[in-house]
Structure 1
Amino acid sequence: MAEILVIGAGMVGVSTALALQERGHAVTLADRRAPGQETSHGNAGVIQAEAAEPYPMPRAPLDLLRHALGQRNDVTWSLSGIASMAPALWRYWRASAPDRHARVGAVYARLTSRATDDHAPLIAASGSENLVARQGIALVFRNAAKFDQECRNAAHLAGAYGVRSRVYSGSEWRREEPALQSDPAGAIHFPDSWSVSDPGALTLAYAALFEQRGGRIVIADAETLKRTASGWSIEGPEGVISGAAAVLCLGPWTGVALRRFGLRIPMVLKRGYHAHYDAPLTFRRPFLDTDNGVVLASMRAGLRMTTGAALVPPDTPANPAQLARGERGVSDLVTLGPRITGSEWFGTRPCLPGMLPMVGAVPGQSGLWVNFGHGHQGFTLGPTTAALLAEAMDGAGDALHAALAPAAQV
């Protein structure tokens, strides 16, 4: 049994601490804030079993032109953001070529296919069943041509990975979701995904479970992480905390932390926003409004709208234009109600250009490990990559571990 420091207390870090604890290790979980206060709080709250393939960069010239001209709301950008991420975006472009994306999807699907199974025991043990609904997720379309295209993609996901889905006409879907105020062109329902009415609360519940099982949670800054003669240490509130190994689970800040130890990781940092609305009606399940690039989900705090990606530098001031545009765009389908004062939030998704999370030992740094780079799926894949990392730290290894290892991706 080793003492291990896990740095970062989002869904990925909390899950990592639990997985290592379950294998008999003594674990200290450290973060500058309480668990679940960053992106694990602000996401759409979906455990996406249907997301068998990661999101590629658009490559069709017309799609790129529409994004460049600001005609799409799912991805926005600034010149400074594009410039600062240019090397990572170039690698992302290359990795999104159809043949490369297919190879990545074959690995990625092995993760998402087990996501709900890996969450299930933690949901039960943490007493969080009241937060979880098993009604799936839907894609809703106004554009008939896009609907037909995505129906073909749903058939591809079913054939390649066994992802179940059902196609609905607009009127059929409105009967499924009577809170809609008009008929869309159609909808695709993926029934095997789960949704969470308060994703931050679920992360906190997992953290409480970790403490109940004997784990320690401390407030500490990752900048104080240091190598020692016997391993690694971090400055806690009551002094130095030492461990034989350390795991960085800092999401978008992991790349910054790794620079201190000689490793540069190109990243595509996708900012996302959310707000809550006092909607008069609730929905049975979350859905992506494909025309407006926003996910709508009924949560404990109200109807949450979560945006797509804004490619901007991390220190850029908040600009919730995607929320405002989404509000206007969904008004024909949904009665949002007033935006709840103070509910606006933004955070950053940690995306690696190769589209796979990085899970394993940091090259050239004995005892230093990472679990990050989940892009849009950190909430979904936290327990899954945590289990894989814990296996690797205990000496296991197979083709999946090798594909996710930092040595294979840097």
Structure 2
Amino acid sequence: MDDVIIVGAGIVGVSTAIHLLRRGRGVTLIDRQAPGRETSFGNAGIIQREGVRPHAFPRDLAMLMQVGLHLSTAARYEPLALPRLAPALLRYWWASSPESYKRVVQSYAPLIARSIIAHKDLMDQAGPDAEALVSKSGWFLAFRSDEGLKKEAAKARADKEQFGISHEVVEWPELKRIEPDLKGGLAGAVHWTDPWTVRDPGALVGEYFKLFEKLGGTFVSGAVTALEQDGDGWAAVVDGTRHSGKEAVIALGPWAPDVLDRLGYRLPLFVKRGYHMHYGTEGGAKLNNLLLDAEVGYVIAPMARGIRLTTGAEFAMRDAAPTPIQLGKAEAAARQLFPIGERLDPEPWKGARPCTPDMMPIIGKAPKHRGLWAGIGHAHHGFTLGPATGELLAQAMTGEATAIDIKPFGMERFL
């Protein structure tokens, strides 16, 4: 029996395992996939130090009309899913009111502040192959209109004053110098200079997993069909075999309800689905930095496999069939700005971002059971916050003072 079994080998599970191993705990990590091949694999690859303001539910009428009429590229919904999603979305809308959102940001900002610190800690131990995947030149939040750029620049100045986040406002001539192959159509961009970007997010999780193995962790490949209390501890059943530990951590991202519901934790979780596709370029064009087309709602990023285009949010059931609509709209918009070429993947990648109605993750002890912990619900910032969440969970589980207060992220707020 190991000290801890961790269910889920995405960036949260792997990071938690490393931090526990470094504190002398024995760890068994379980997943049906290779580490980092699910939600941690299909993202824009930003360690979003600037992301102190989580994605709020839109409250302006124009945006709501765009989404409602399926005119938006940044967000869309599946009508048949709305009855099941409605209760969580209503709470999401309420938490996005100005006063509630202000409180969310106050709690969320210290967690985001740990993002690069915690990633750097793991990279330093993982070695040069992890470091080689990272660019520290920030990313560009680009705008097609002067009005949009001016509004975002004002927000960026406020975030610099309140949270110390660095940025530069780049007008079109300077942005064109930085990215010579952009076609045009942009007023400029806010260059967030503090974040790091990663050219292969799944590969970085793989490097962290190598560190996990080096530290003596055990990996079990297979689907967990049951997680049960086992005397004073816990047992995960995988292919008919029981794997026991004194404590258990659920780090299953969008699949967490499959386990938590059976244990009596019916949390108001929902998913925002997203897609990505890799492209070649025309005429040897090169994209030097990640760029988010803010007024349309997609990202293009230079990745190991090519130019990765990632879509906005799709409100649908987790396991529903994929839809090509958002990717098609985003691709058409991206071709206006940059000479992307042929698709390089046989099919778009589809994943699900695990979300909570108040936009904050669940980090800490499950209140109804002894020895059960969770690190879930990171929405758009799972890749950013995985190592920080792992650090905080390991500190709480071993009785250390946590690097920040984790009470705002407690599961009991939903029970």
Short-chain TM bin: over 0.9
Match for 1:162 among 161, 164, 177? 164
Residue 352 in structure 1 maps to residue 334 in structure 2 = no
Contact 1:220 1:235 in 2 (8 A): no
Write the distance in 2 (CA, Å) between the matches of 1:135 and 1:99. Answer: 34
Contact 2:276 2:348 in 1 (8 A): yes
Letter in 1 for 2:272: K
Write the distance in 2 (CA, Å) between the matches of 1:149 and 1:313. Answer: 34
**Aligned counterpart, 1:64:** 64
Deviation at 1:238, TM superposition (A): 8.4
**Aligned counterpart, 1:211:** 213
Match for 1:405 among 402, 407, 410? 410
Residue 322 in structure 1 maps to residue 326 in structure 2 = yes
**Aligned counterpart, 1:47:** 47
Match for 2:203 among 193, 198, 201? 201
Aligned residue pairs, count:
410
**Aligned counterpart, 1:15:** 15
What is the identity percentage for the equivalent residue pairs of Structure 1 and Structure 2? 40
Secondary structure in structure 2 of the residue aligned to 1:256: helix
Write the distance in 1 (CA, Å) between the matches of 2:243 and 2:289. Answer: 43
Write the distance in 2 (CA, Å) between the matches of 1:409 and 1:259. Answer: 13
Deviation at 1:230, TM superposition (A): 2.3
Structure 2: stretches of 5+ with no match in the other structure: none
Contact 1:282 1:303 in 2 (8 A): no
Range 285-294 or range 397-406, more displaced: 397-406
Write the mapping of 1:328-347 to structure 2, written as runs, cut at 5 A.
328-342=332-346, 344-347=348-351
**Aligned counterpart, 2:387:** 383
**Aligned counterpart, 1:113:** 113
Contact 2:73 2:326 in 1 (8 A): yes
Q: What do residues 342-391 of structure 1 show as CA deviations (whole Å, max 9, x unaligned)?
A: 25200000010011110111111111110010001110000101111111
Contact 2:224 2:238 in 1 (8 A): no
Write the distance in 2 (CA, Å) between the matches of 1:217 and 1:389. Answer: 19
Write the mapping of 1:26-105 to structure 2, written as runs, cut at 5 A.
26-105=26-105
Write the distance in 2 (CA, Å) between the matches of 1:222 and 1:109. Answer: 34
Contact 2:2 2:244 in 1 (8 A): no
Residue 298 in structure 1 maps to residue 302 in structure 2 = yes
Letter in 2 for 1:118: A
How has the CA–CA distance of structure 1 residues 67 and 86 changed in structure 2, closer, same or farther, with 3 Å as cutoff?
A: same
RMSD (Å), alpha carbons: 1.6
Q: What do residues 151-194 of structure 1 show as CA deviations (whole Å, max 9, x unaligned)?
A: 12111211221111110111111111112122511100001111
Write the distance in 2 (CA, Å) between the matches of 1:402 and 1:109. Answer: 14
Secondary structure in structure 1 of the residue aligned to 2:142: strand
Contact 1:85 1:267 in 2 (8 A): no
Deviation at 1:293, TM superposition (A): 0.9
**Aligned counterpart, 2:250:** 248
Range 106-115 or range 196-205, more displaced: 106-115
Letter in 1 for 2:181: A
Letter in 2 for 1:163: I
Deviation at 1:221, TM superposition (A): 2.1
How has the CA–CA distance of structure 1 residues 341 and 119 changed in structure 2, closer, same or farther, with 3 Å as cutoff?
A: closer
Write the mapping of 1:122-161 to structure 2, written as runs, cut at 5 A.
122-127=122-127, 128-161=130-163
Contact 1:140 1:288 in 2 (8 A): yes
Write the distance in 2 (CA, Å) between the matches of 1:54 and 1:301. Answer: 29
Residue 285 in structure 1 maps to residue 289 in structure 2 = yes
Write the distance in 2 (CA, Å) between the matches of 1:390 and 1:341. Answer: 38
Write the distance in 2 (CA, Å) between the matches of 1:181 and 1:239. Answer: 57
Q: Normalization by structure 2: what TM-score? A: 0.95
Write the distance in 1 (CA, Å) between the matches of 2:50 and 2:181. Answer: 24
Secondary structure in structure 2 of the residue aligned to 1:147: helix
Deviation at 1:236, TM superposition (A): 4.0
Secondary structure in structure 1 of the residue aligned to 2:340: coil
Letter in 2 for 1:45: G
Structure 1: stretches of 5+ with no match in the other structure: none
Secondary structure in structure 2 of the residue aligned to 1:346: strand
Contact 1:220 1:234 in 2 (8 A): no
Write the distance in 1 (CA, Å) between the matches of 2:224 and 2:80. Answer: 27
Contact 2:267 2:414 in 1 (8 A): no
Contact 1:165 1:189 in 2 (8 A): yes
Write the distance in 1 (CA, Å) between the matches of 2:185 and 2:332. Answer: 17
